[in-house]
Amino acid sequence: MAEAARYLLYFQYCGTKYSGVMKTPSHQPIPGVQNYLEGAVQKLRPINEVNISISSRTDSGVHALCNSAHLDIQRKEGKPPFSEQLLVDALNFHLKPEPISVLKAFRVADNFHARFRALSRTYVYRLAIGCFHRSQLPVFERNLCWPVSNGHLEFWELTFRSRSFLYKQVRRMTGALVAVGQGKLTPRHIADLLEMRDSRAYPQNIIAPPGGLFLKNVEYDEKDLEVEESKIQ
């Protein structure tokens, strides 16, 4: 029997219509991005049950310019493993017309793990300065940023990079920065919140909405993206 090949996938999506990136059960009305990814893989007719391991969880309404995941694909006896480019092309064909796209694929070692091997994750939060309501935004920006003030319309980006993040951490930090700028919180309030080390103390009404948040990149050691030639043949 042919051995399973493990791949690292980089993929992107507009998260507006999904429950998040993670897979949801069949009875839930709104699926996750993972549901569609696994559905596309199953159409390639692997003989194993494919379970995609996502590196970075994103919530409902959050987008990704580049998320990552690993999966194992075992083909029928006599069929070679998919080449990286063929896998990308085939998955994108089966993902149509969803706003989900596979960017790249790498054949990786059998012990590679997309989540635990990640060196860092980079998020970008987009703010619209110049309006207070999404109806005032250009139609193609309405689910892609957070309108926070009046004036001349311009877009700001806040970038956050770390090995990992806590639940809603980037949205909390963004909301706190905006609240200080609007005079709803003072720097002293932020210091007090940090000293408490209790997420329950954070004011819930200043968490930034999900639509402005993008996972920009997941970084790995380049050596982890190399596999022995004997494994590919």
Q: Which letter, b or e, does each residue of 186-201 get, where b requires 16 or more Cβ atoms within 10 Å of its Cβ? A: eeeeeeebeeeeeeee
| Alpha carbon separation from 66 to 56, 101, 109, 124 (Å, rounded) | 10, 10, 21, 11
Whether 59 is catalytic is yes
Q: Three-class SS of residue 206?
A: helix
CA distance 153 to 96: 34
Report whether 145 contacts 128 (CB < 8 A): yes
Is 16 within 8 Å of 100 (Cβ atoms)?
no
Residues in the chain: 233
Contacts of 94 (CB under 8 A, 6+ apart): 39, 40, 43, 44
Q: Which of 59, 72, 110, 224 is catalytic?
A: 59
Tell whether omega for the bond before 31 is within 30 degrees of 0, i.e. cis: no
Alpha helix ranges (H) inside the chain: 33-42, 84-95, 169-181, 187-196, 229-232
User: What amino acid positions are annotated as catalytic residues?
Assistant: 59
